[in-house]
Amino acid sequence: GAVVSQHPSWVICKSGTSVKIECRSLDFQATTMFWYRQFPKQSLMLMATSNEGSKATYEQGVEKDKFLINHASLTLSTLTVTSAHPEDSSFYICSARGGFNEKLFFGSGTQLSVL
């Protein structure tokens, strides 16, 4: 099946620093990628939808200036958590879809811990 690679798997950073998470589709071109966030013992919550070559669409309550999304190519989307704070500590997961009606495949997730 299709493979979505997410990097890094985990990151620890100091408060106030920025962290970039990469999501790559390895064997297909992803026209759309989705970014989710998951807190402990909770379900996945959609943060934003990114389409290649256009601005991301953010869900209500998600700060676009804090969570910068770039989808510059059909195989790569990045999420940058700017000026991270301890409350941003969470499990971030990306997913990618090839065609419009294709099923979604998920990355392995990134555990972010902000000290």
Contact between 108 and another protein by CB under 8 A: the answer reads yes
Report in angstroms how near the CB of residue 115 gets to another protein at its nearest: 19
Contact between 111 and another protein by CB under 8 A: the answer reads yes
16, 74, 18, 81: which is closest to 47 by C-alpha? 81
In this complex, which beta carbon is closest to another protein, that of residue 77 or of residue 107?
A: 107
Contacts for 53 with CB less than 8 Å, ≥ 6 apart: 71, 72
Burial of 104: CB neighbours in 10 Å, binned 0-12, 13-18, 19+: middle
In this complex, which beta carbon is closest to another protein, that of residue 32 or of residue 75?
A: 32
Task: Give the C-alpha separation, 56 to 63, whole Å.
Answer: 12
Residues 25-64 that bind another protein (CB under 8 A): 32, 34, 36, 43-46, 49
Contact between 98 and another protein by CB under 8 A: the answer reads no
Footprint of another protein on this chain (CB under 8 A)?
1, 4, 6, 32, 34, 36, 43-46, 49, 91, 93-95, 97, 100-101, 103-109, 111
